[in-house]
Amino acid sequence: MIALVAKCFVLPGKEEEFKALAAPLIEASNLEDGCLSYGLFRAKDGAHLAFVERWRDAAALEAHNNSPHFTSIVPRFAALVSKPGEVEFYEEF
């Protein structure tokens, strides 16, 4: 199993726009084969949003990264953030 935390440093005042853009990505990702969970969260200190994801294996994550919903939506987040995201990959231990 793979877990992934993708931190997104969303510009002040742009969180709702980010959330609306993310909604179809979240919906489609949760329907993918091999997606165990996929959601958008806000850090408790409010400093950033993060996608917290769990995938069955690397192949499922790779398919996700090449999916139409990923490749069409993720690039559009760039206009709503103050700097590139930080992604942490984890493998079940």
Binding of a second copy by 91 (CB under 8 A): yes
- The number of CA neighbours under 13 Å toward the Cβ of 90 is 10
Q: What are phi and psi of 34, to 5 degrees?
A: 90, -5
Q: Which residues contact 1 (CB under 8 A, 6 or more apart)?
A: 36, 54, 55, 56, 57, 91, 92
Q: Which of 5, 28, 63, 74 binds a second copy (CB under 8 A)?
A: 5
**What is the contact mask toward a second copy in residues 20 to 59, using x (rule: CB under 8 A)?**
----------------xx-xxxxxx----xx-x-x-----
> Residues interacting with a second copy, by CB under 8 A?
1, 3, 5, 15, 19, 36-37, 39-44, 49-50, 52, 54, 88-93
